Chains A and B, each alone.
Chain A
Amino acid sequence: MENNDLHGKLLADFHQFEQTLNGGINMPFQILRREAAERFRALGFPTIRLEEWKYTNVMPLIKHDYTALPAAVPPVDAFPAPPDFIPENAVKIILINGRFSPDYSLPDAMPAGLGVSSFDTTDTETKNMIGKILDFSDNAFTALNTAFAYYGAVLKIADNANISQPITVLNYTDARDAAIFAQPRLFIYAGRNSQASIIEYSATIGEQPALVNSAIEIIAAENSSIRHYIIQDDTAAKITASHIRQAAASLYYAVTLTLGGHFVRNTAVAELAAPGAEAHFYGLALGSDKRLIDNHTMVDHAAPHCQSNEHYNHILDDRSTAVFNGKIYVRKGAQKTNAYQSNRTILMSGSATINSKPQLEIYADDVKCSHGATSGCLDETSLFYLRSRGISEEKAKALLLHAFAAEISNKIQIGNTRLKIDEIIAKRLHDEE
Chain B
Amino acid sequence: MLEIKNLFAEIEGKNILNGVSLNIRPGETHAIMGPNGSGKSTLASVLAGREDYEVTSGEILFDGHSLLEMQPEERARAGIFLAFQYPVEIPGVSTANFLKAAMNELRKSRGQDPLDAMDFLALMREKSKLVEIDRSFLQRSLNEGFSGGEKKRNEVFQMAMLEPKLAILDETDSGLDIDALKIVSNGVNALRNDNNAFVIITHYQRLLNYIIPDFVHVFYKGKIVRSGGKELARELEEKGYDWLKGTA
Contacts and interface: CB of A to CB of B under 8 A. Distances in A.
A387 B72 contact: yes
A384 B105 CA distance: 15
B106 interface: yes
Contacts of A389: 73, 76, 81, 98-99, 102, 158, 162
Contact of A403 (B51, B73, B91, B162): B91
A399 B106 contact: no
Given A385-B84, A390-B109, A400 B93 contact: yes
Contacts of B209: none
B39 interface: no
B123 interface: no
Contacts of A406: 92
Contacts of A403: 90-93, 141
Interface string B96-111: 0111011011100100
Contacts of B75: 388
A46 to B, nearest CB: 37
B71 A390 contact: no
A387 B91 CA distance: 16
Given A389-B158, A390-B76, A395 B105 contact: yes
A386 interface: yes
Contacts of B97: 399
A393 B73 CA distance: 8
Q: How large is the interface on A (under 10, 10 to 19, 20 to 34, 35 or more residues)?
A: 20 to 34
With most chain B CB atoms within 10 A of its CB, the pick from A381, A388, A390 is A390
B93 A399 contact: yes
B48 interface: yes
Nearest to A407: B92
B87 A385 contact: yes
A385 B87 CA distance: 8
Given A388-B48, A388-B82, A390-B106, A404 B88 contact: no
B50 interface: yes
A390 B73 contact: yes
Nearest to A406: B92
A384 B72 contact: yes
Given A400-B93, A403-B92, A388 B71 contact: no
Contact of A385 (B90, B92, B162): B90
Contacts of A359: none
A390 B102 contact: yes
Contacts of A387: 49, 71-73, 76
Given A392-B105, A399-B101, A386 B92 contact: no
Q: How large is the interface on B (under 10, 10 to 19, 20 to 34, 35 or more residues)?
A: 20 to 34
A370 interface: no
Contacts of B221: none
Contacts of A392: 73, 105
A177 interface: no
Nearest to B89: A382
A422 to B, nearest CB: 11
A433 interface: yes
A61 interface: no
A129 interface: no
B152 interface: no
Contact of A388 (B49, B106, B109, B114): B49
A433 B114 contact: yes
Nearest to B97: A399
B77 interface: yes
A79 to B, nearest CB: 35
A38 B42 CA distance: 70
B92 A395 contact: no
A45 B56 CA distance: 60
Nearest to B78: A390
B124 to A, nearest CB: 15
B105 A386 contact: no
A389 B91 CA distance: 17
Interface string A387-415: 11111110110011011101100000000
Interface in B116-159: 141, 158
Contact of B77 (A382, A390, A399, A400): A390
With most chain B CB atoms within 10 A of its CB, the pick from A382, A385, A392, A402 is A385
Nearest to B74: A390
Nearest to B101: A391
With most chain A CB atoms within 10 A of its CB, the pick from B49, B50, B102 is B102
Nearest to B107: A390
A395 B50 CA distance: 17
A391 B105 contact: yes
Interface in A352-400: 380-382, 384-393, 395-396, 399-400
A382 B88 contact: yes
Given A390-B162, A391-B102, A399-B101, A382 B76 contact: no
With most chain B CB atoms within 10 A of its CB, the pick from A381, A391, A396, A407 is A391
Nearest to B45: A384
Nearest to A431: B101
Contacts of B77: 390
A216 B66 CA distance: 63
Nearest to B92: A403
Interface of A: 380-382, 384-393, 395-396, 399-400, 402-404, 406-407, 433
> Shortest 5 CB-CB distances between A and B: which pairs?
A403-B92, A390-B76, A389-B102, A387-B72, A385-B88
7 contacts: A382-B90, A384-B48, A384-B49, A385-B88, A388-B76, A391-B105, A404-B92
